[in-house]
Chains A and B, each alone.
Chain A
Amino acid sequence: MPKLISGAEIVFKALEDQKVEYIFGYPGGAVLPIYDELKNHKSIKHILARHEQGAGHAAEGYARSSGKPGVLLVTSGPGATNAVTALTDAYMDSVPLVCISGQVPTHLIGTDAFQECDTTGITRPCTKHNWLVKDANDLSRVLHLAFEVATTGRPGPVLVDIPKDIQFKKGKYKFIKNSLKKKLNGKATHKLSNKELDKFIELMKKSSKPIFYTGGGVINSGPNASKYLRELVSLTGFPITSTLQGLGSYPGDDPQFLGMLGMHGTFEANNAMHDCDLMINIGARFDDRITGKVDEFSPKSTKIHVDIDPSSIGKNIKVDLAVVSDVSELLKSLIKRFKEKNKNFLNSNKQKTSKWWEQIDKWREKKSLNFINSNKIIKPQHAVQRLYELTKDQDTFITTEVGQHQMWAAQHYKFNKPNRWMTSGGLGTMGYGLPAAIGVQIANPGKLVVDIAGEASVLMTMQEMSTAVQYGLPIKIFILNNEYMGMVRQWQELLHEKNYSESYTAALPDFVKLAESYGCVGIRAKTPDELDEKIKEMINVQKPVIFDCVVDKSENCFPMIPSGKPHNQMILGPEEDEEISDEGKILV
């Protein structure tokens, strides 16, 4: 007869067996037995957030920068509903999270008890799966299954709802591994036959205008995937572009890299996507910020799509060769096969793709990321470039909020390693970056972690500065302060006749004083002259910093594919568009 232990103890035993080191959480009535048990488990450290959404994004930042699942602990009712944004964010961006929520005691479920809500009902559409555990003897099985579901196939969030009486009740504990009878998200690792690989290789050999289009799947597949990707790209000599989430899986400063694609992607990447004859999608999902108008998306190309999630293939864009596989495994066998059969591919193919590269170089000459710099006022793009130059020699982790600053960060900060770039892409959650930075810093002590932020976004989860101070996490909040919800203002300028309805933030706090009141360091830069010095100061401070970078209020983010347009009809900058007059620029 195995020893019987309480539900709360079972929770910790399961976490220990899953080698969990950190949980991000916030206590409340319905999880008190679990909080009571915390003191008996020294290997697990609890990080007290200031809001459950903050705890959730911190767990996401932890997961994305470490490759391990993030663990979140919240109370019933408002605790659980506050976590919903973070769960949805993790669901959209495929981040493995295990959320444990307290629930009212089983006999009160359904009675509208104090702090009761239908947590499994509310979180059903934003988790891969969730469980309401009504028997303490079920708890260990469910918890281990939860970790497995979160981390298998296409990763994502799961939730385990534990009523308070179950946390007290005694039950059996058992560590059950691999209880999933089938691989989630389809047969995740079906080995490709040589015949299939040869078909893949044949398409590559036939192509004279190829492009690799890679996404977050490469990062989720682990650091090896990124290594193999570099090898394959160099073996083939093909150009490569990446989605927002894929940045870092291929070096951002490599000549074969065309930059990010999509709505605010580079001219060369988007035109190459439009004109290519072979598109090799590895771990990306053809989302609408990438494809623009579906009917006119890359009309003449043969398309290969590699994805671990079969439902991602063919969802938005029909493809010619579908490969359901983990990226790492596919690339490994593809490279092996490729090398066996095509020793001289690079040389023999150089000629075939030389015209293509010439064309790409022509597109590159547009220098679509250029902007008109100023020596009076800090341009936001310039600020990101300076931040990059001054931090590129150390292993730096970047998170962002959502808006123009996010796109400028993606365009101007060059990533060389995977897991260094954490941004909310799918859900586009303002307030993600600051708490995410906390999680990143916890997973990567001693490393430089910077949240490139907008002043509007960062106020949504600003309270988490207090968390950073409590745990001595020297995160740097680098605010590109344009006093506007810049991205909203940009759309209003371009599409709503400059009716800047509610996009100006009056009564912003003094960020330097705000920093001081949290017990961290506030720095402000107002002119280009002082920018470098101030950035260096920020990097050298061993404390959390809020950096108020006062930037041009009217800058727009270009290039841009306007809504409803195909990839080859980008707007490159203000001078191209008559509707944006100089007057308009001064106005804002």
Chain B
Amino acid sequence: MAVSLSLNGKDLSLDVPDDMPLLWAIRGVVGLTGTKFGCGMAQCGACTVHVDGQPIRSCITPVSAVSGQKVTTIEGLQGKAAQAVQAAWVRLEVPQCGYCQSGQIMSATALLTQNAKPNDADINAAMNGNICRCATYQRIRAAIHTAAKSLQG
């Protein structure tokens, strides 16, 4: 069954089983690999993408559930908040192995889009679903604050 959706601004029709998680469709069928597999059960956030701007875990979201919706992956991430987040990530040297960081950046960008000035509790709430096994958390927190400041300009 073909599922139609918009991925990073492009309309696509994917001929995949309805129950295939969006993650595997993005990685395996479309071939965009910035979105990562970490657990497959909504525990780690490595697979975070935006659906109509909201962060979701693509590993447990069937492709059919996003039919007709706008999906954004790290490859298609745009806008002021995203730029501020990515710039802060580079400047504060947040990543270590880097594997979790697409998901972290997707979650952080969604947070800043909704809340221009998050405090530490807001950051905990928005980012607690994103595991970083390298434990780069201190820098993730600092980079979100830095990005927020740069957005206020």
The yes or no verdict on A and B being binding partners is: no
Instruction: List residues of A whose CB falls within 8 A of some B CB.
Output: none
